[in-house]
Structure 1
């Protein structure tokens, strides 16, 4: 069951490149940076994910990122998701993220499965929400 919202953020795509993909069509790698809140702590995030188009037109993506607070807290994450392309060039993903941290402020994340909603508009602006999965 979808639990409480534990994070949200916004940012900007900083780079993209096409990678070879021996298993099929090209793989698109996207990096972004953003700011937001995670368990009530203001944070900055840098992340990279790669997505491959599947035969039905949906996208499968995998990524990793690092989240940092101004006070020096650090958490890393890995995740997977499924996306859809919109007519205007926007992309919408839904998936799961798993965190790892030594920060006391974010220690709760180590034992959570989290679900995300991630949107990128045609101009490369990102928006995300993170929910506890109960």
Structure 2
């Protein structure tokens, strides 16, 4: 298997965080970026569970282009704190749900992602097709 094209290149900020039972954390974040060169905005919500000094998380979200095309996102990953506050580094996999002809090819390939978060909750997300 090889990495394919860079699908998503996004920046944004956590917009809400709340503590859940058993040390779990729910986070919602908003972003903007490029999806194969097309501008989009996004909203995601995820739940992270502590596991052996790291966090395991599942995220769900939607990315919507300025033309009204949307891509659903279902992602899983593992992260670890890298500093103060919300600073962390994450890696994982994603399955997309696209109905728009423009992005329907995403339904046939999984993706891999990396997410870097700074102390204040600003993030940079990159997602590649996995061919």
- Structure 2: which 5+ runs fail to align? none
Alpha-carbon distance in 2 for matches of 1:2, 1:39: 15
CA distance in 1: counterparts of 2:105 and 2:36, whole angstroms: 9
Which residue, out of 66, 82, 87, partners 2:83? 87
Residue aligning to 2:74: 78
Q: CA deviation at 1:109?
A: 0.8
Question: Structure 1: which 5+ runs fail to align?
Answer: none
Alignment deviations for residues 95-124 of structure 1 (CA, whole Å, 9 cap, x no partner): 011111111111111111000001111101
- TM-score, L = length of structure 1: 0.92
Large movers: runs of 4+ above 4 Å: none
Task: Tell me if 1:19 matches 2:20.
Answer: yes
Q: Which aligned pairs between 1:38-53 and structure 2 lie closer than 5 A?
A: 38-53=35-50
TM-align CA RMSD:
1.0
* Aligned ranges 1:1-134 → 2 under 5 Å: 1-20=2-21, 25-54=22-51, 56-89=52-85, 90-134=87-131
Q: Secondary structure at the match of 1:123?
A: coil
- Whole-angstrom CA distance in 1 between matches of 2:72 and 2:5: 20
Q: CA deviation at 1:2?
A: 2.1
Deviation at 1:88, TM superposition (A): 2.4
Number of matched pairs:
129
1:55-89 Cα distance to aligned partner (Å, 9 max, x none) = x2011000100000111101111110010111223
